[in-house]
Chains A and B, each alone.
Chain A
Amino acid sequence: MDKVAVVAEQREGKLMEVSLELLQKATDLAIILDGTVSAILVGNHCKDLANELIAHGASKVVLVDHPHLELYQSDVYAKVTASILTEISPEIVLIGGTSIGIDLASRVAAKLKTGLTAHCIDLYIEKIDGKEQLIHVVPGWGGRIMVKIICPNHRPQMATIRPGMLEKAKPDPSRIGNIISIHPDMTENDFGARTLEMVKERRDGKLLEDAEIIVAGGFGLYSAGGFGLIEQLAAALDGEVAGTRPACDHGWIPENRMIGQSGKMVRPKLFVSIGASGAVQYTTGFLKSRVIVGIDKNPRSQIFNVADFGIVEDLKKIIPCLIEELKQ
């Protein structure tokens, strides 16, 4: 029985990591529901990726292969995904909370007239009034509070989960699954919105999600002469530079380097926050880091509520000392 479905995402012939992360969660949920996991993958020439999904836990992969579907197409992807979900009628649908996944999930949920929750940080099953319900734990008000949501009377129960929230399991290449290939008929006239090309933009450094060490700055850097200090410290730590919403709004970091509820969720080995007051919208983004260091000149900064180590000091004084110390 297809109890849980994962809508996988590929870009340029590679699976997004979050799709594999979701398969682990989907497998756990499917065991409780005494069912199996199906994956749906839309793209072009994706057969190898289907095998990868199986190795990570899918028992069945519905593969939609078409030259027009290599790139994300909002209306057509939603249409095919919704029709497959109607066919396999799972209890639960998990979708990676990428910029594309959220877009797709929203339209699919509206097609299926069912509930969808965003940015879940936890998902588990509980029996309520004799019926197994998926409990979606989502941050509300920028993480200030947590909310438990259910979708009691509509199926499937749909949720998006941010990349990096879950850990993916080790693949088992010996797993066997069923691949169902669909080759829909379509012409360009079927596309109300047609993606013509994907353009990569130059990006300095590693993806934040892959970084082991992250140094993030906030608006407190303003009086310390901007982001130069953060960049030097990150270089000394062999880490990546990131920042808060105000740092982004100020143009110090690009949007893809913003940490927090509306930015990146990260879980590095070491997260160093500098000159940030620790608004929950921001701290939500790195709470799962192994070690958190907070440095701010304000002793009442909220950052010290979430840090393992705290230093209250003038940033212009402490950062050069840290850089100096790291060189030894």
Chain B
Amino acid sequence: MPLNVIVCIKQAPDPEHSYQITIDPRTGFIQRAGIPSITNPMDRHAMEEALRIKEAFGGIVTVLTMGPSQARKSIEEALAMGADRGVILCDPFFAGADTLLTAYVLSKGIRAVGNFDLILCGSETIDGGTRQVPPQLAEFLDIPHVTYTRKIDFIDAKRVIVERTIENGHLKIELKLPALIAVLKSINQYRRPTVMGIMEAARKEIIEFGSSICNPSGIEKEYIGYIGSPTKVIEVFEPLQGRSVEMIGGIPKEAARKLIKRLRELEAL
């Protein structure tokens, strides 16, 4: 029962460099020039899961992203891991999309790619971290979804049972395919691209789609990207850290005594 799996990935700024972010005092916007990008970590686990499904049942793994042209690097990485083909949705009109418009454009990209049995993605990105795109994408595709998945078991080609974590436990969910599953890191350990994989990736196809997928007649571009997004950023500011620290010195025994005394005085113990 070969399965057609599409993995949605995102290239995101490396959180290790978040300290480099500054706010332009003149425009009030974020400056992120020079901050390196990486493939969103949870998305790599989604990619791995797709490869395991292909290894078990056969089929095709397509990796898809929306982003600027440098997002191609994340697609190439996924191809080197073992994806069969890549799709990049790239158009200046996509820029500034909020989660709803991102999900909308991804759904258009998936429709342009064709049929699928399963959409996989990471549950959460390291930058926005809203977790909103996977359920919204499923809604635009009119398919059922499960997020926060740590285990997928196939019953047959049309049904899977998944474990979806919740606070202090999990839900066991039966899902009819086609469906969307957003995974957690704990679902698997992902493979690193091999030299062989990297060489093969160079021969694999990367399809690029622009905003014409959203509207074949090429008009009404105002409905996508930032302009079409229902939510708008009106201000960016640095949070105030409203505390001043009292450093406690001395040899460890003394410092410990002073700290515990201060905490008792404040009735924090």
Q: Please pick, from B167, B186, B233, B263, the residue contacting A291 in the complex, using a CB distance under 8 A.
A: B263
Contact in complex: B259, A322 (CB < 8 Å) = yes
Q: Please pick, from A110, A311, A321, the residue contacting B103 in the complex, using a CB distance under 8 A.
A: A110
Instruction: Name the distance in Å between B55's Cβ and chain A's nearest Cβ.
Output: 25
Contact in complex: B175, A141 (CB < 8 Å) = no
Which of under 10, 10 to 19, 20 to 34, or 35 or more describes the interface residues of B? 35 or more
Q: A309-B248, A310-B247 are in contact. Are A197 and B172 (CB under 8 A)?
A: yes
Indicate whether B217 reaches chain A with its CB closer than 8 angstroms.
no
Taking CB atoms and an 8 Å cut-off, the chain A residues in 264-295 that contact chain B are 269-270, 279-281, 287, 290-294
Contact in complex: B100, A102 (CB < 8 Å) = no
Residues in B neighbouring A119, C-beta threshold 8 A: 129-130
A172 to B81: give the CA distance in the assembly, Å.
Answer: 59
Residues in B neighbouring A261, C-beta threshold 8 A: 129
Residues in B neighbouring A183, C-beta threshold 8 A: none
A318 to B251: give the CA distance in the assembly, Å.
Answer: 9
A281 to B127: give the CA distance in the assembly, Å.
Answer: 10
Residues in B neighbouring A117, C-beta threshold 8 A: 130, 231
Residues in A neighbouring B263, C-beta threshold 8 A: 270, 291, 293, 309
A293 (CB) vs chain B CBs: closest residue = B259
Contact in complex: B255, A311 (CB < 8 Å) = yes
Indicate whether B135 reaches chain A with its CB closer than 8 angstroms.
yes
Contact in complex: B245, A106 (CB < 8 Å) = no
Q: Please pick, from A104, A147, A309, the residue contacting B235 in the complex, using a CB distance under 8 A.
A: A147
Residues in B neighbouring A307, C-beta threshold 8 A: 243, 245
Residues in B neighbouring A114, C-beta threshold 8 A: 100, 230
Contact in complex: A312, B172 (CB < 8 Å) = no
Q: A193-B145, A318-B255 are in contact. Are A107 and B247 (CB under 8 A)?
A: no
A306 to B21: give the CA distance in the assembly, Å.
Answer: 19
Indicate whether B30 reaches chain A with its CB closer than 8 angstroms.
yes
B266 (CB) vs chain A CBs: closest residue = A291
Q: Please pick, from A118, A139, A154, the residue contacting B131 in the complex, using a CB distance under 8 A.
A: A118
A128 to B260: give the CA distance in the assembly, Å.
Answer: 50
Residues in B neighbouring A74, C-beta threshold 8 A: 135, 144-147, 173
Residues in A neighbouring B147, C-beta threshold 8 A: 74, 99, 102-103
Q: Please pick, from B161, B238, B243, the residue contacting A306 in the complex, using a CB distance under 8 A.
A: B243
- Number of A-B contacts defined by CB within 8 Å: 249
Indicate whether B168 reaches chain A with its CB closer than 8 angstroms.
yes
Contact in complex: B139, A311 (CB < 8 Å) = no
Instruction: Name the distance in Å between A160's Cβ and chain B's nearest Cβ.
Output: 8
Residues in A neighbouring B165, C-beta threshold 8 A: 99, 255
A141 to B99: give the CA distance in the assembly, Å.
Answer: 16
Name which of A106, A203, A269 has the most chain B CB atoms within 10 A of its CB: A106
A97 to B19: give the CA distance in the assembly, Å.
Answer: 26
Residues in B neighbouring A111, C-beta threshold 8 A: 139
Q: A147-B233, A262-B129 are in contact. Are A192 and B245 (CB under 8 A)?
A: no
A311 to B247: give the CA distance in the assembly, Å.
Answer: 6
Residues in B neighbouring A192, C-beta threshold 8 A: 143-144, 175-176, 179
Taking CB atoms and an 8 Å cut-off, the chain B residues in 111-146 that contact chain A are 124, 126-136, 138-140, 143-146
Q: Please pick, from B19, B99, B243, B260, the residue contacting A322 in the complex, using a CB distance under 8 A.
A: B260
Residues in A neighbouring B103, C-beta threshold 8 A: 110
Taking CB atoms and an 8 Å cut-off, the chain A residues in 57-77 that contact chain B are 71-72, 74-75
Contact in complex: A141, B230 (CB < 8 Å) = no
Residues in A neighbouring B241, C-beta threshold 8 A: 287, 305-306
Instruction: Name the distance in Å between B224's Cβ and chain A's nearest Cβ.
Output: 13
A308 to B242: give the CA distance in the assembly, Å.
Answer: 10
Contact in complex: B135, A110 (CB < 8 Å) = yes
Q: Please pick, from B130, B175, B237, B260, the residue contacting A325 in the complex, using a CB distance under 8 A.
A: B260
Residues in B neighbouring A152, C-beta threshold 8 A: 232
Instruction: Name the distance in Å between B172's Cβ and chain A's nearest Cβ.
Output: 5
Contact in complex: B21, A144 (CB < 8 Å) = yes
A146 to B33: give the CA distance in the assembly, Å.
Answer: 19
Contact in complex: A75, B269 (CB < 8 Å) = no
Contact in complex: B135, A103 (CB < 8 Å) = yes
Contact in complex: B253, A321 (CB < 8 Å) = yes
Contact in complex: A193, B256 (CB < 8 Å) = no
A219 to B236: give the CA distance in the assembly, Å.
Answer: 31
Indicate whether B219 reaches chain A with its CB closer than 8 angstroms.
no
Contact in complex: A313, B252 (CB < 8 Å) = yes
Indicate whether A227 reaches chain B with its CB closer than 8 angstroms.
no
Indicate whether B268 reaches chain A with its CB closer than 8 angstroms.
yes
Instruction: Name the distance in Å between B193's Cβ and chain A's nearest Cβ.
Output: 21
Indicate whether B215 reaches chain A with its CB closer than 8 angstroms.
no
Contact in complex: B174, A103 (CB < 8 Å) = no
- 19 of the cross-chain contacts (CB-CB < 8 Å) are A74-B146, A98-B166, A106-B135, A119-B130, A136-B231, A142-B129, A145-B30, A148-B236, A153-B230, A194-B175, A196-B172, A198-B170, A201-B169, A201-B170, A291-B266, A293-B259, A304-B247, A308-B245, A314-B252
Q: Which 7 A-B pairs have the closest CB atoms?
A: A192-B144, A115-B230, A321-B256, A110-B139, A118-B130, A115-B231, A106-B135
